[in-house]
Amino acid sequence: MFHFDSLVSLNEEGTIIRATRRDGSIKIIEPADTDLYAMAISGHLGEVADFVPPPQPTYEDRVKAWEQEASCDVFRLKLALAEDDVFDAAEAATSDMDAVWRIVWSSGGGTRIGRLNASLSAVVGQATSADPGAWLDEKDIWSPKRPTD
Residue 18 domain-assigned? Answer: yes
Q: Which of 49, 46, 65, 44 is nearest to 14 (CA)?
A: 49
Q: What mean pLDDT do residues 92-117 have? A: 87
What domain range is 72 assigned to? 59-137
92 and 32 in a common domain: no
108 and 80 in a common domain: yes
What pLDDT score was predicted for residue 1?
65
12 and 43 in a common domain: yes
pLDDT tens digits for range 46-74: 999 999 999 999 999 999 999 999 999 99
119 and 63 in a common domain: yes
| CA-CA-CA-CA dihedral for 98, 107, 71, 138, to nearest 10 | 90
72 and 41 in a common domain: no
75 and 126 in a common domain: yes
Check whether 36 has a pLDDT greater than 90: yes
| Dihedral sign from CA coordinates of 127, 133, 136, 139 | negative
Q: What mean pLDDT do residues 120-143 have? A: 92
What pLDDT score was predicted for residue 102?
87
Residue 147 domain-assigned? Answer: no
What pLDDT score was predicted for residue 23?
92
If DSSP codes are grouped into helix, strand and coil, which group holds residue 116?
coil
18 and 37 in a common domain: yes
| CA-CA-CA-CA dihedral for 134, 71, 64, 128, to nearest 10 | -10
122 and 81 in a common domain: yes
**C-alpha to C-alpha distances, 137 to 85, 118, 122, nearest whole angstrom:** 17, 15, 15
Q: How many domains does the chain have?
A: 2
Instruction: Record the pTM.
Output: 0.66
Residue 142 domain-assigned? Answer: no
The residues facing 9 across adjacent strands are 17
Q: What mean pLDDT do residues 24-38 have? A: 94
Residue 75 domain-assigned? Answer: yes
Average pLDDT over the chain reads 92
What pLDDT score was predicted for residue 82?
95
Residue 99 domain-assigned? Answer: yes
63 and 12 in a common domain: no
